[in-house]
């Protein structure tokens, strides 16, 4: 019984060991299965990741190629833009040059047009003047026919005596006759004012000086005087003397027109009557500076002065030239 118990114990222990070994083997098998399954999953994941990376690389290569192509295309566009900008600048310069040429051409065209308009205007004026002359000619022919048909009337002519001219040495009054306006020219008073002004300004210095005096009775005088010391001979002796000489003199009114109408002068109580009052006709000469537009009035004025006993001296002046004097001038010749 004891032997039976011992054997049973050994068998029980052997069975337990076998159970343990069997359990361990089963665990190992399970672990191997799990490890194999896990290894397969890891291999699949690695393979999947490898496939994803290859796709990404392929896509990256594609994008890189597209980027390179885009960069090259951008560079080409930049070059084209630079060429277009250069061409645009050149076209703008050409446009500016063409605008300048257009402005010059337009100005020339306007000048030619204005010249043409002026010629047309002159032509119209000439045609109008010709028509007026033709009309006047017809009128004159009609008057001539009437005169030839009528008896010639007796015409009485009035004339002024024309005595021999003589140089003026007495008192001389100056008048100006322009635009049929008569005005007094205060020559003597202006010369006296020039003398005083020159003595005040020269202050003992030699040389030439120009100045202006007036206004006196509406006239001013611009003058130029010279003062210099020079050697002179007197009685066989030579000495130094101061010479003062009038170089030039211009007398003008302050404004134009200036004076009193001649027709009003003949009506009495005029400025001419004031100037002639108390003067002796035998020793007074009237000098009249006259312009071409007043020659007819000069004739009437000379008749008026002749009736009052005054001799007159006419000094014709061209239009636009003022009354002037110089050391080489001549004295008036009265009639």
What is the residue extent of each domain of the chain?
166-334
- H/E stretch holding 104: helix 2-149
Q: Which residues contact 254 (CB under 8 A, 6 or more apart)?
A: 214, 215, 218, 219, 220
Using CB atoms within 10 A of its CB, is residue 35 exposed (0-12), middle (13-18) or buried (19+)? exposed
The SS3 assignment for 173 reads strand
Residues (pLDDT < 50) of the chain are 152-166, 168, 331-335
pLDDT tens-digit series, residues 125-161: 888 888 888 888 888 887 777 776 655 444 333 444 4
pLDDT at residue 10 in the model: 54
CA distances from 91 to 77, 86, 106, 157 (A): 20, 9, 22, 86
Q: Which residue has the tokens 């043409």?
A: 116
Angstrom distance (rounded) from CA 280 to CA 283: 6
What is this structure's pTM? 0.46
161: left (phi over 0), alpha (psi -120 to 50) or beta: beta
Nearest to 181 by CA among 273, 276, 265: 265
Say if residues 310 and 286 touch (Cβ distance below 8 Å). Answer: yes
Supply the pLDDT for residue 189.
92
């Amino acid at each position: 019984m004891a032997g039976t118990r011992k054997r049973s114990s050994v068998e029980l222990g052997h069975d337990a060991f076998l159970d343990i070994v069997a359990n361990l083997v089963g665990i190992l098998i399970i672990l191997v299965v799990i490890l194999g399954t896990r290894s397969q999953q890891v291999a699949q994941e690695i393979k999947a990741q490898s496939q994803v990376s290859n796709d990404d690389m392929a896509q990256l290569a594609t994008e890189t190629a597209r980027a390179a192509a885009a960069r090259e295309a951008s560079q080409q566009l930049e070059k084209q833009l630079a060429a277009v900008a250069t061409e645009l600048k050149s076209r703008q310069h050409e446009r500016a040059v063409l605008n300048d040429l257009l402005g010059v051409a337009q100005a020339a065209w306007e000048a030619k047009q204005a010249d043409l308009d002026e010629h047309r205007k002159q032509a119209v004026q000439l045609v109008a003047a010709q028509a007026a002359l033709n009309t006047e000619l017809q009128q004159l022919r009609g008057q001539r026919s009437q005169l030839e048909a009528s008896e010639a009337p007796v015409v009485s002519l009035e004339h002024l005596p024309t005595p021999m001219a003589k140089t003026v040495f007495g008192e001389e009054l100056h008048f100006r006759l322009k635009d049929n306006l008569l005005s007094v020219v205060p020559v003597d008073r202006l010369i006296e004012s020039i003398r005083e002004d020159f003595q005040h300004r020269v202050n003992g210095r030699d040389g030439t000086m120009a100045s202006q005096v007036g206004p006196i009775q509406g006239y001013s005088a611009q003058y130029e005087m010279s003062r210099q010391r020079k050697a002179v001979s007197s009685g066989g002796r030579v000495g130094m003397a101061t010479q003062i000489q009038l170089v030039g003199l211009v007398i003008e009114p302050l404004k134009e027109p200036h004076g009193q109408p001649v027709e009003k002068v003949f009506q009495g109580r005029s400025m001419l009557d004031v100037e002639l009052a108390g003067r002796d006709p035998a020793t007074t000469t009237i000098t009249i500076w006259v312009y071409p537009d007043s020659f007819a009035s000069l004739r009437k004025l000379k008749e008026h002065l002749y009736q009052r006993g005054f001799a007159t001296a006419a000094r014709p002046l061209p239009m636009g030239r003022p009354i002037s004097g110089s050391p080489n001038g001549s004295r008036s010749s009265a009639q």
